[in-house]
Every structure is written in C-alpha cells, then in structure tokens.
Amino acid sequence: MIASNRTINYLRISVTDRCNFRCLYCVPSSPFSVIEHKKIARYEEILRITKLACELGITKVRITGGEPFVRKDIFSFLNRLCAIENLKDISITTNGALLTRKKIEQLTSFGIKRLNFSLDTLDPVKFSQITGRDRFKQVWESIFASHELGISPVKINAVILRGINDDEIENLTALTLKYPFHIRFIEYMPMGNSAVEKQQQILTQEIREKIESRFGKLVPVERTFNDGPAKKFQISGARGIVGFITPISSHFCSECNRLRLTSRGTLRPCLLNNYEKNILNPLRNGASDDELKKIILSALTKKPAFHGLTDQSSENIPISHMTSIGG
Ligand code: SAM
Ligand code: SF4
C-alpha cells in the first residue's frame, strides 16, 4: 500500500486500552474511563481486518496496548495471528510484568521472535514511582528469560524525564556492554493530559551527551531492513545497541511505514494526529471484504506528510492518551 509516497507494510494493533501499570508519562493525571467491552474489537474481528490488510501489502505486525497480556485469551489470538499468510514478522510491546518463562516459550513456539519491553529504570523504588506498581523483579526476570530463550533482539524502551529518571541513563546504557540488548531512549510525547510537565521533557541531544561523556563517542550502526524509527549507535566494543527515537527533536514522518488499528476498531494513520477512520462498525454491519479493503485504503490517504507536535501548540497535542490509541 502506498501513502504520501511511502510503502506502508507495518500494522500496529492495539488489543486493549487496559493496563496493569499507571506509568506517569502514559496515563492521564485525572480520572479516566476505559472503553466498554462491547466496543472493543473482538479477536475474530481483528484477525479479519489484519488478514485483509496483509492482502493489501502489510507484512509486519506489532501487538501493543494498553498492556497486551492483560487481555483474556491473548495466547490463542496470537497463535491464530501467526498463521496468517504473508505475515512475516510479528512482535509485541509489553511491560513484561505478566510474562513468565513458560509464556515466553509459548510465544517462541508460535514463531514470535521479537519482544520490546518498557523499562525506565534499574532501581526498584524508582520503578514503583514511575509505573505505580511494585513489579520491577517480574519485569527484570521476563527480560532475562526472553534473552535466554532466544528472543532476539530484546529491545528495552525507556522514556527519560528530568528529575525522575535522568540519572538512570548511564545505568540503562551500560546494559549494552554486557548483553546484546537494544536500549532505546524515546522522547516523551505530550499526549492526553499526563502528569508530566513541559520542563521534564528531555530531548535526545542531552541524553546522547550524557552517554558520550561517560562511555565515549557513540558509533553509528548501519540500518537493517527490519529497523523502525530508532537511530542506532553502539559504544565501542559493546554487545548491544543504543537507539534514539526522536519524535520531537527530529521527526521521522517521511520514513513512517505504519498504520495503527486501535482497540476500538479505528484505523489511525498517524499516532500524533487525531484523525481516525472506523472500520469496526462497517464490519459489524456486514461490509464485504472488498468494502473493508476500501476503508483501509481510504484511511491511508489521510496519512499526513508530518505531524504537528514539534511546535508544541496545544491544538496539535493528541487528545487521546497512549493506552487508548496503542503506543
Ligand atoms: N504496555 C506496553 C508497554 O509499556 O510496553 C505497550 C503499550 S505502551 C503505550 C508502548 C510504548 O509507549 C512504551 O514503550 C512506552 O514507554 C511508550 N510511551 C507511553 N507513553 C508515552 C509518551 N507519552 N511519550 C513517549 N512514549 C510513550
Ligand atoms: Fe501501561 Fe505501557 Fe502505558 Fe505503562 S506505558 S501505563 S505499561 S500502556
């Protein structure tokens, strides 16, 4: 599928807006409601939309949320997803707290080889402050179990905030000396109404300077076909990779090859643009496969050339928070 001169081959599917964590950069600071169960796309519905999207050229899928592993029967869904023809690459973004060695083994038996974990600190106390949950040990064990079971690469996403975990940049980076992990620093994106203040946002340049002053100059790493938006580097002699995801300081819109399917059954061509097209209602009202494919293609015509978040004016801030869109 082509949109804004780009080939779109990547579908990011949010299977739920619910989460067992309350990360301060992700969930709204004021009380919020979750989506009614009947309005959430059922697994059969997600599988049908995905199959049609694959017929139109999608080859990669990432499952996200909310927290994907809080949804009931997720493993049987993932097993069926892995059976879709033309789907070559399935990965999952998770906080890791509900995974166990046995469950990770199950994922690898389905053919899932890549997992992204979110981990913003190596300090259990700070972890509880950021996520609202005392689950550091479980997440840490899941990351290492994945590594031992051959998940590769194990990617770790960290959102760095001034005064919260900016003193963890070096500790997180040092993991790459010993393990072949990809540690990716994601710039905080203001979405919905999180508790994060503007002055807590730290951009990549500052993070990079901190890393280089401790570990020496970062060496750029060549991109591979499976790369996402992260700009990749290595500390000289390290086993792992340091990545920077820079939606604010240097947007990567011209390379963005993704479409999102939210748990509400809407197609969202851009994370940072509020436009969404509902595909679930037509599907529930009996639309044919051809009609649904037309809806997918028409959503893509709305893929913007670039997002408007860099100018920081409030009208450009997405009204939904990450858990409701799917990060
Ligand atoms: N619950 C899973 C997890 O935490 O990995 C999957 C969903 S979460 C929304 C996906 C990613 O979005 C996480 O890596 C998280 O760090 C990132 N994220 C959430 N809110 C963010 C924000 N406001 N700015 C930048 N990244 C954010
Ligand atoms: Fe949940 Fe992931 Fe958001 Fe944290 S970042 S609240 S784990 S969805």
Q: How far is the CA of 327 from the centre of ligand 1 (A)?
A: 5
Q: What is the pLDDT of residue 322?
A: 67
b/e 19-50 (16+ beta carbons within 10 angstroms → b): bbbebbbbbbeeeeeebeeeebbebebbbbbb
* Nearest-atom index, ligand 2, CA of 20: 1
**Checking phi first, is residue 136 left (phi over 0); if not, alpha (psi -120 to 50) or beta?**
alpha
* Cis peptide upstream of residue 153 (ω within 30 degrees of 0): yes
Reduced to 3 states (helix: H, G, I; strand: E, B; else coil), residue 13 is strand
Nearest CA to ligand 2 atom 3: 26
* Nearest-atom index, ligand 1, CA of 158: 16
Ligand closest to Cα of 116 equals 1
User: Which residue from 297, 281, 325, 316 is spatially nearest to 66, judged by alpha carbons?
Assistant: 325
Nearest CA to ligand 1 atom 9: 327
2-325 CATH, one of 3.20.20.70, 3.10.20.520, 3.40.50.10470, 1.10.3720.10 = 3.20.20.70
Q: What is the pLDDT of residue 314?
A: 47
Q: What is the C-alpha to C-alpha distance for residues 6 and 226, in angstroms, rounded to an integer? A: 16
For the record, the structure tokens of 155 come out as: 């990617």
Residues 145-162: what's their mean pLDDT? Answer: 97
Q: What is the pLDDT of residue 15?
A: 98
Choosing from 18, 27, 115, 121 the residue with most ligand 2 atoms within 8 A of its CB, the one to mutate for a pocket test is 27
Q: How far is the CA of 272 from the centre of ligand 2 (A)?
A: 17
Nearest CA to ligand 1 atom 8: 327
CB 115 less than 6 A from any atom of ligand 1: no
Helix (H) or strand (E) holding 243: strand 241-245
Give percent of the chain with pLDDT exceeding 70: 91
Choosing from 93, 187, 252, 324 the residue with most ligand 1 atoms within 8 A of its CB, the one to mutate for a pocket test is 93
In which band, very low, low, confident or very high, does the pLDDT at 201 lie, cut at 50, 70 and 90?
Answer: very high
Residues 144-152: what's their mean pLDDT? Answer: 97
pTM score of the predicted model: 0.93
Residue 112 pLDDT exceeds 80: yes
Q: What is the pLDDT of residue 228?
A: 79
Choosing from 12, 18, 23, 136 the residue with most ligand 2 atoms within 8 A of its CB, the one to mutate for a pocket test is 23
What confidence tens digit (pLDDT) does each residue in 282-320 have?
A: 999 999 999 999 999 999 988 776 655 555 444 555 556
Q: How far is the CA of 238 from the centre of ligand 2 (A)?
A: 29
Residues 265-281: what's their mean pLDDT? Answer: 90
CB 67 less than 6 A from any atom of ligand 1: yes
DSSP state of 29: S
Q: How far is the CA of 287 from the centre of ligand 1 (A)?
A: 33
Ligand closest to Cα of 185 equals 1
Q: Do residues 169 and 207 lie in contact, with contact meaning Cβ atoms separated by under 8 Å?
A: yes
Q: Which residues line ligand 2 (CB under 6 A)?
A: 19, 21-23, 26-27, 65-67, 95, 118, 322-323
* Nearest-atom index, ligand 1, CA of 21: 1
Ligand closest to Cα of 92 equals 1
Residue 84 pLDDT exceeds 90: yes
Using only C-alpha atoms, the chain has a radius of gyration, in whole angstroms, of 19
